[in-house]
Amino acid sequence: MRKYNHFLVQAARLGSLTLVSSVLGFAREVLIARDFGASHVTDSYLVALSVPMLIYVLFFGSGLNVSLVPRLSTLLSQDATRGRQVFAQFLSAAALWSGLASSMIFLFPRVFVHVFAPGMAASPVALGFVRTLAPLLFIFVITFALGSFHCARDRTSNWALITVVQNVTLVVALLLLGRMGGAKILLFGTIAGALLSFIVQARVARLDGFRETWVSPFRRGEGVSILASMIPFAFVFGLGGDYGTGQVDIFLVRLFASRLTPGSITLLALGNKLMALPVVFIGAALGLALLPSLSVAIAKESWEKASRDFAQAMSYAFLAVCPIAVIYFDLGVPMARLAFERTALTPNQLEQLGAILRAYAGAVIGLVLVYILNSYLAALRQTRALIGAGVATAAIDALLMAVFWHRYQAPGIAVAISIGSFFYCILLLGLLAKFIPRVARAELFVRAVIIIIGAVGMHLVLIFTVRLNVFTSAPLFGNAVLPIVAGLLMYVTWLVLHRGRLQLTVVSF
């Protein structure tokens, strides 16, 4: 295996675990839909879960990989002992402040429900759920901080274990006890999964040599300095970080959808889950695996390697995500039925979910590319550029949702996110243009054109195959499976015919 393929191998390993986690997450959503449908209880659970999750991402997690991983990667490569000491102080300070924040959620749940879902501020169910899930903020902070330590050590696949353990625990709890325990099991499984994922990350960190003890977070040091460097992201609610803008979108979705009919938040969450499967599997895996490699290459001023790795990541991402976006756009309703037909969702809700999935198709492409573009800017430590782009995108998303939600209901909110993701992608490309050689930009453009033509051809084949309506006795096969197979066959054939111009490196393990 050639050395410059290393980040692709890391991405493949991370992507494999991410795929497992995504499948488990999808199974979790199916089980929740099976047991609870789309109702006030599921809306309350999603709002309660989004409070600690969004606060973690907006005020901490969004800047985590941007601020911690690049600096810690360099420190660990130069002096591993010093790097571990710096991380120990960072972890101690992060644990203290997140513990205080969790206490505030527990003591004042009504305030947080009013902020995150004003249409449900008077719901006693939502208030009770928020108080129960308040400790998640503290657990998320320390668990994902440990995950970032592994990323800085170029062991990014350990990061994916966090969500794998969380989803396994909740799925098992729902399978065994969901119908007997109801919402209590949903809450218990969520807390138990978070605790188990922390234990796994702590154990892996110890095996990797991290045995440092508690360090005073009030003493000056580089760990506290790294935490302080995340403050700009906190001031702008995480905008511009790895996950910040996406989580702001989730906040906006809760905000606008809480004023729609009951179940709208749940349907948008289900559509978002299907949209996020390829985004996390492809975009997050490639972007996270690329970050340590780019950070070290830029620190050594090896611009040729950085540019080459970036171009490979962008090409692989665009090639992999385009057919998925086409499937979601053309076959939104059949895909929704395939996934959730045997749940408590009504036929009307399945139709609406299909329309939401179709509206999310553009976001699949835009958000995948944003992850990789964000990683390059993070490795360059372009904090102001990241924050500026994130703020501009959030403003566009909020404006579009305000225009679309009343007229087009839940699908209009999803369309707003898709349009905003393309705006975000174009903005980041403009910011990165001066760091990418002209030759590399020309190569990327040629590859993108070839892939787009293949995706358009796949779209035409899908539409033609659906209209043929060959298998009337098996509508699901004729309207979903057969068109997907025919479309993918055309797409792959086109790419094989132009493999020389695509110039993609084969990844070997």
Asked if residue 364 is part of any domain, the answer here is: yes
Residue 6 clears pLDDT 70, i.e. is over it: no
Contact in structure between 421 and 375 (CB atoms under 8 Å):
no
Q: Specify the range with the lowest mean pLDDT, choosing from 150-159, 274-283, 460-469.
A: 150-159
Q: How many CA atoms lie within 13 A of 451 on its CB side?
A: 23
Structural domain contains residue 348: yes
Mean pLDDT of 297-316: 84
- Average the pLDDT over 61-67 and give the result: 74
Amino acid letter at 449? V
pLDDT tier at 3, thresholds 50, 70, 90: very low
Lowest mean pLDDT among 229-243, 325-339, 404-418: 229-243
- Asked if residue 353 belongs to a domain, the reply is yes
pLDDT at position 106: 96
Cα–Cα nearest to 281, from 106, 20, 5, 6: 20
Torsion of CA 304, 77, 285, 394, to 10 degrees: -80
Name the pLDDT band for 248 (thresholds 50, 70, 90): confident
Residue 336 falls inside a structural domain: yes
Q: Model-level pTM?
A: 0.71
Tell me what pLDDT residue 351 has.
92
Would 508 be classed as within a structural domain? no
User: With 90 as the cut, is the pLDDT of residue 80 above it?
Assistant: no
Residue 486 structural domain: 3-502
Q: For residue 16, what is the DSSP state?
A: H
Q: What tens digit of pLDDT does each residue of 365-390 get?
A: 999 999 999 889 888 888 788 888 88
Q: What is the pLDDT of residue 16?
A: 75
Can you tell me the distance from the alpha carbon of 113 to that of 119, in angstroms, rounded to the nearest whole number? 9
- For residues 415-440, give the mean pLDDT: 91
**Residue predicted with more confidence, 239 or 487:** 487
Angle (CA) 491-494-498 rounded to 5° is 140
For 302, the token pair is: 């090896």
On the question of pLDDT at 352 being above 70, the answer is: yes
pLDDT in tens, 88-120: 999 999 999 999 999 999 999 999 998 888 888
Q: For the chain, report the end-to-end CA distance as a whole number of angstroms.
A: 7
75 in any annotated domain: yes
- Confidence (pLDDT) at 195: 96
Residue 507 lies in a domain: no
pLDDT of residue 508: 40
Does residue 197 register a pLDDT over 90?
yes
pLDDT for residue 143 is more than 90: yes
Q: Across all residues in the chain, what is the average pLDDT?
A: 85
Q: Which of 45-49, 184-188, 241-245 has the lowest mean pLDDT?
A: 241-245
pLDDT at 92: 93
**Local structure of residue 155 (DSSP, 8 states):** -
What DSSP element (H or E) covers 432?
helix 383-432
182-206: b or e for each residue (b if 16 or more CB lie within 10 Å)?
ebebbbbbbbbbbbbbbebbeebbe
- From residue 449, alpha-carbon distances to 351, 488, 501 in Å are 33, 18, 11
Count the Cβ atoms, other than its own, within 10 Å of residue 300: 12
Torsion of CA 422, 426, 427, 433, to 10 degrees: 160
pLDDT of 132 > 80? The answer is yes
pLDDT band at 238 (very low <50, low <70, confident <90, very high): low
- Domain count along the chain: 1
